[in-house]
Amino acid sequence: MGKNIINNQEFTYDDKYSHKDFTGRRLTDAKDLNGITIFGSCFSQEIPDTKVFPNDMTGVVFYNCNLDNVFISDGNSTIGCSQRKFKVQNDLMDWILDKDLKPAEPIMKKEFEKLGISTDPKDIPKDKMDESIIESKLKEIK
């Protein structure tokens, strides 16, 4: 068990699952998750609402974790975690999704704006591009 102090409060976290990179991995068969605290780990997935954890998992506290595109069931909690939903669009870029899972804005919005690329979802190409819109724009500029 590890310990950490945040905002003058000490808490204990599970060493097996804390400070680790589980990007793209699934832990659906794990039997030792209930009731633990996981600190500073990445569980990010490519597909929104991916089920990474067992269906019957309860009492887990995720603290400062990356839970982008991860489904977290009721009975578990998050503190200071990233829980964005995003998906690759036809411009081959990740876009943050709204509550209806429709593209809202590109994750790399500042880069789009810097290059003069529209950040309006209606301007996402109807057909899948051969290269990302950013790569295409950079070639165009050169």
Over residues 53-73, the pLDDT tens digits come to: 999 999 999 999 999 999 999
Residues in CB range of 78: below 8 A, 6 or more apart: 61, 62, 63, 65, 67, 72
**Does position 4 have pLDDT exceeding 60, yes or no?**
no
Q: What is the pTM of this model?
A: 0.85
Q: Is 7 left (phi over 0), alpha (psi -120 to 50) or beta?
A: left
pLDDT tops 90 at residue 30: yes
| Interval 96-104 mean pLDDT | 96
Position 3 pLDDT exceeds 70: no
Q: Quick count: other Cβ atoms within 10 Å of Cβ 93?
A: 21
Average pLDDT score, the chain: 93
- Reported as a single tens digit per residue, the pLDDT across 129-140 is 999 999 999 988
Residue by residue, DSSP assigns 20-72 as -B-TT---TT-SS-TT-EEES-B---SSTTB--S-TT--S-EEES-B-TTB--
Give me the pLDDT at residue 9, please: 66
Average pLDDT score over residue span 112-122: 96
